[in-house]
Chain A
Amino acid sequence: MDIPVVELKDVSFSYGGPRVLEKVNMKVEKGDFFALIGPNGAAKTTLMKIMLGLVVPDEGEVKLFGKNVRSFRQWQKIAYVPQHGGQINLSFPATVREIVASGLFGKAGSLKGKSVDEAVRKAMATVGIEPLAARLIGELSEGQRQKVFLARSLVGNPEALFLDEPTTGIDSESQEEFYGLLENLNKGRGLTVVMITHDIGMACGMANKIGCVSSGKVDVHENMKDVTEDHIAEIMGYSIKK
């Protein structure tokens, strides 16, 4: 049995008031496509940041690849695509190539010179943004920017990818393309994917586990044969337009 990629034991968290997460227990195994869904304000982003050690929980234990997240240092194993396609500084004078390469800057200096160029080229090719390499980030559409962030996260060849609502604000055609890329990475390369999304259809179609975040709890559904979109929507209090 492989060591779980993420393991949360009795994790609780509050922003000073009532707890937004209460004794959360969950595991993400190697190769999982784990979708985290829930209404706005359900603390999905907080939960992901706790998994990554960006937010410290009040109680409980968080492990990344079997290590306590506070002492986790194997940064090359993980990559993160934050929820900020529209929030970055659009006047930042950086080309797509420079931003994708920045995904390697903290990775223990393992790559140099030509290997960096090659890794950057491969990552851009994987998500289909090679023709945009010399463009400034502010000149791209939101969909293209999200692909740049995906390429940046893939350039270090991670084992697990964490995405926070990566398709928010992009058109449905680009969303489908983005999901297709993730599916290939998960099924083709065995990349573990943890993704926050509001898209129940995508979650039911692509994920092998769904974590429903609501009222401070996370209900994990593993047997996807028994899980329907309606079922999840009902749990989450969503209405699905037929």
Chain B
Amino acid sequence: MEIFQYSFMVRAFAAGIASAVLASTIGVFVVLRRMSMVGDSLSHASLAGIAAGMFFGFYPFYGAVAFSVLAALLVEMVRVTFKRYAEVALAVVMSASMGAAVVMISLGRSFNADLFSYLFGSLMAVTEEDIKLIIILGFFVMAALYLLRRQLFSIAFDEETARLSGIPVNTVNVLFSILTALTVAISVRIVGTLLVSALIVIPAAVSLQLARSFNSAIFVSNVVAAFSVITGLYLSFYFDLAPGGTIVLIASAVLFVVLLVKRR
């Protein structure tokens, strides 16, 4: 396998598969809670963090993690306050983050190849340090999701009854927001800030069409995301394409085919 002779491709596959599994698992809960735009808002916040890193001279990944976690907490706070207008929180956070990112990018004159790689994803850009962070954070997110899976299921299905069955709904919601933010920050490296939301939503949308149980929904979502990332990385390597766009186009094609077949 010629492709694996390049260490940057090994790193890209490792980061890509970790992102696929995390984003597609989180995605099932996000879609079922009708918060599909959350990925977009948090990825824009992560872009602001990346821009802050470039402007102030610290490692941009740390900025992405910090800003997306802060944004997630803000979204959750506004969602609780404006229960019926949760999308207001998403729109405000997305716009404010984009504004902050643009200002810092223009101030730092940092519109360069590095920023481009964060916007659209890059095969070459994943460093050893990125991989270490992705593995540590990814393991933490997966372990937390496994431990919270039952509570998250109950809340996604019926928040009020979940509360009365003794689930600490507010705490679980805050934890879930943090896990979503970490997933976005991890996935940004490979898919790019502009497309990370698609990796969260599209595999979950496919799974909702095919699943015959909740566990199978998670499994189908994981398989679709992993398939899209692996084929996307192969194609972008051999045809010199932007990996984020290729991955998202493949996932979209899978969704399109599934919808077409189900309509027959």
Contacts and interface: CB of A to CB of B under 8 A. Distances in A.
A102 B158 CA distance: 10
Contacts of A54: 160, 163-164
A165 B224 CA distance: 41
Interface stretch (B48-56, B62-70, B208-216, B248-256): B208-216
A76 to B, nearest CB: 7
A98 B213 contact: yes
Contact of A82 (B153, B158, B214, B217): B158
Nearest to A153: B161
A105 B161 CA distance: 11
Contacts of B208: 91, 93
B131 interface: no
A129 interface: no
Contacts of B215: 98
Interface in A138-158: 152, 156
Given A102-B154, A106-B166, A106-B167, A93 B211 contact: yes
A107 to B, nearest CB: 6
A173 to B, nearest CB: 26
A105 B153 contact: yes
Chain A CB within 10 A, most for which of B156, B164, B212: B164
Contacts of B163: 54
Nearest to A54: B160
A105 B151 contact: yes
A128 B166 CA distance: 26
A84 B157 CA distance: 12
Interface string B32-76: 100000000000000000000000000000000000000000000
A92 B225 CA distance: 20
Contacts of A95: 212-214
Contacts of A152: 161
Contacts of B167: 105-106
Contact of B158 (A88, A134, A156): A88
Contact of B166 (A73, A82, A92): A73
A92 B207 CA distance: 11
A105 B150 contact: yes
B7 interface: no
A76 B164 CA distance: 9
B157 A106 contact: no
Contact of B165 (A84, A94, A156): A156
A211 interface: no
A88 B157 CA distance: 8
A54 B160 CA distance: 8
A102 B166 contact: no
Nearest to A162: B164
A80 B217 CA distance: 27
Indicate the size class of the contact surface on chain A: 20 to 34
Contact of B214 (A98, A104, A134): A98
Interface in A45-81: 52, 54, 73, 75-76, 78-80
Given A102-B150, A105-B153, A106-B151, A92 B32 contact: yes
Given A91-B208, A92-B32, A106 B162 contact: yes
Nearest to B210: A93
A75 B160 CA distance: 13
B153 A98 contact: yes
A9 B216 CA distance: 48
A105 B167 CA distance: 8
Chain B CB within 10 A, most for which of A82, A102, A156: A102
A80 B164 contact: yes
Contacts of A104: 165
A73 B211 CA distance: 35
10 smallest CB-CB distances across A and B, nearest first, come from: A75-B166, A106-B166, A106-B165, A106-B167, A93-B211, A105-B150, A93-B217, A94-B214, A95-B213, A102-B154
Given A80-B161, A89-B157, 10 more contacts: A54-B160, A76-B166, A88-B157, A89-B32, A93-B207, A93-B216, A104-B165, A105-B150, A106-B165, A107-B166
Interface of A: 52, 54, 73, 75-76, 78-80, 82, 84, 88-89, 91-95, 98-99, 102-108, 134, 136, 152, 156
30 contacts: A52-B164, A54-B164, A75-B164, A78-B164, A79-B164, A79-B165, A82-B161, A88-B157, A89-B32, A89-B157, A92-B32, A92-B156, A92-B157, A93-B208, A93-B214, A93-B216, A94-B213, A95-B213, A98-B213, A102-B154, A102-B157, A102-B162, A105-B150, A105-B162, A105-B165, A105-B167, A106-B151, A134-B212, A136-B212, A136-B213
